[in-house]
Amino acid sequence: ELMRRAAAAAPDGSPERRSLEDESSSLSQRTRQAEQDNATIYQDPVPSAGALPRLEPKLFVKPIRPEEGLSSAQAAYADAFPALLPAATAAAVTQFHGEVHAKLHDLSTRTTSDAEKAQKALAELELPQALEACEADKRLPARLVRAIAKAPATGGREATPRDTSRTCPRHVRPQAQATGGVGVLEELLSACTALEKEAHCVAQREETCHVYCARCVDVPPRA
């Protein structure tokens, strides 16, 4: 429109008017052609998927079997799955398995060490043989014998008496009273209670003591 107005304003027969008329005519023709092209392109119907021609497969690389190029021993254990894992994933899997094995080894080592400590504690307490002997022939363990011998010098009759009817084992009471005085009985009860509780705790962990005496301490027996 602007080109047409400029050509009409130019003098008749002038070169400027002819140039403007030619340019306006050319621009109008290109505009009509563009409108026709646009209408033809965007209004063309799209065919359905079934109407489209089938794409034929093309071979880009030569296929080979995974075991080709491997020795017979390698081919027998060939596994294509590791080759599909990214390097970072394979490294993470390897690290995870290593950490699992390390933790299992640490648990095994600690279990062995704890078992050895428990066996050593049982040996120092003369258990369970000492308890079995005490039940069988009324003989006290050496640790209690030493406590009974030491009691007169540390407690004697000056020790505060207490009710011992629930915690004193019936097979230990006569031995304590025979040494002379409530202080001896108190010392014996203290040593006996500590020994029995310690033996019970060790037995619960290691499950080696089968002669735990429920009459000696106020600790419920093992089921």
Percentage of the chain lying above the pLDDT 70 cut: 43
**38-58, pLDDT tens digit by residue?**
777 666 778 888 888 888 888
Three-state DSSP at 85 gives coil
The token pair at 14 is 């002038």
Three-state DSSP at 136 gives helix
Is 128 within 8 Å of 211 (Cβ atoms)?
yes
DSSP 159: S
The token pair at 62 is 């030569």
Higher-pLDDT residue of 172, 67: 67
Give the number of C-alpha atoms closer than 13 A to the C-alpha of residue 154, restricted to the C-beta side: 12
**129-174, pLDDT tens digit by residue?**
666 666 665 566 667 767 766 766 655 444 434 444 444 444 445 5
- pLDDT surpassing 90 at residue 194: no
Rounded Cα gap, residues 188 and 199, in angstroms: 16
Higher-pLDDT residue of 60, 34: 34
Phi and psi at 168, nearest 5°, equal -85, 125
pTM, two decimals, is: 0.27
Displacement of CA 90 from its chain's centroid (Å)? 19
Higher-pLDDT residue of 219, 72: 72
The rounded radius of gyration (Å) of the Cα atoms in the chain is 51
How large is the angle between the packed helices 182-206 and 87-124, nearest 10 degrees? 150
Percentage of the chain lying above the pLDDT 90 cut: 9
Three-state DSSP at 35 gives helix
Displacement of CA 158 from its chain's centroid (Å)? 58
- pLDDT surpassing 60 at residue 208: no
pLDDT at 215: 40
Higher-pLDDT residue of 7, 114: 114
**87-129, pLDDT tens digit by residue?**
788 889 889 999 999 999 999 999 999 988 888 887 777 666 6
- pLDDT surpassing 70 at residue 72: no
Secondary structure in 3-state letters for 65-76: CCCCCCCHHHHH
* Nearby residues of 21 by Cβ (< 8 Å), 6 or more positions away: 7
Within 125-163, residue ranges assigned H as helices are 129-137, 142-154
Q: How high is the mean pLDDT of the chain?
A: 68
- pLDDT surpassing 50 at residue 180: no
Angle CA(175)–CA(178)–CA(180) in degrees, nearest 5?
A: 130
Of 184, 159, 163, give the one whose Cα is nearest residue 172.
184
